[in-house]
Structure formats: C-alpha cells, structure tokens
Amino acid sequence: MDSGKTELVYFFLCQDYKNEGGIETFQNQFWVCYWKQYPLPLACYVASAFRLSVCKHSIKINLVDATNQSSTQITTATVESKSSCLINPVHGKIVIQVPKHGYYFVNIYVDGVLTGTSVLIAETDKPQFSYTLLPEMEKEIREGQLRLMVKRSYQK
C-alpha cells in the first residue's frame, strides 16, 4: 500500500561521483569550504535519494543563510516514481553561489515540503566558525586555492 509519504534515504554534498558497473562511489563529502574572498561559485556534486509515492515529484534545493534566513534557489528537478518501494536517486553537478562567509543550510524540498538539510560553513583564510588552519594552508587560500574540509578522512 502506498502511504504517500516521502522518505529521504540520503542527501549530501561531495566533490565527485562515479558509477562503475553499478557501484556508486561518492568522493569527499564536505561541510566546510575555505576561500579568500566571497562571493564563491562553489562547484560540487549533490547526491540524494528518496522513496516516493507513485507519481511525478518536484525537487528543489535552496541555500539558506543561517543568520538571517535569506534563501536562494540553487536548482530544481523532477522525478517520476514508479514504485514507493524503490529508491529514486537524484544526483547531479551543481554550483552553489555562496555570497559571504558564514553558516548556511542547504535544504532539499520534495513537492514543497522540507525533506532534508545539510550544513555548509563558508570560511576565509582566517576561520571564525570552524577549525583553524596550518599557516601553509592559510597562505594557499590567500593565493587563491579553494580548500574543503571533508567529513571523513581516509585511513590506511
């Protein structure tokens, strides 16, 4: 029986995505970006998946400034669900226009209903909201290199 509810399976931002022989790999999920001067057009990959009722659904992703709640639409998509039992992945490359350093929410809506949130922290070479950097990293950012802090580190 179809309940008509939307279930979020996953939602995150990452640097890249690969599908090799049906095996999906999401590379470098991140939550902090370090950049010398804003605004920043942050190119990334959005990975999301849902269980949806049978019909067409609209999906919208917004960037919300956590301090003043101003919201900017990032992208939209439409997906048609054939079964409420199946997972419907919605993946794609996007560009997030980050206007200034600070705290942000990346919100995903299905049919106008807030379904998931990811936090994005935008920093400069002198972080105020997250982790301080090594002096050489600060220098690289001042020279124009974008740095991202990933959620998980690789272990050997």
Return the pLDDT at 150. 84
Domains and CATH numbers, the chain: 7-150 (2.60.40.1930)
Return the pLDDT at 76. 96
Amino acid identity of 14? C
Cα dihedral: 143, 151, 118, 22 (round 10): 110
- Tell me: the pLDDT tens digits for 27-49? 999 999 999 999 999 999 999 99
Rounded mean pLDDT, 51-57: 94
Asked whether the beta carbons of 42 and 96 are under 8 A apart, the reply is yes
127 preceded by a cis bond (ω within 30 of 0): no
Q: pLDDT band for 151, please (50, 70, 90 cuts).
A: confident
- Tell me: the pLDDT tens digits for 65-83? 999 999 999 999 999 999 9
Distance CA 56, CA 50 (A): 13
Return the pLDDT at 2. 43
pTM of the model: 0.88
122-to-27, 28, 96, 106, 142 alpha-carbon distances in Å: 20, 17, 11, 12, 15
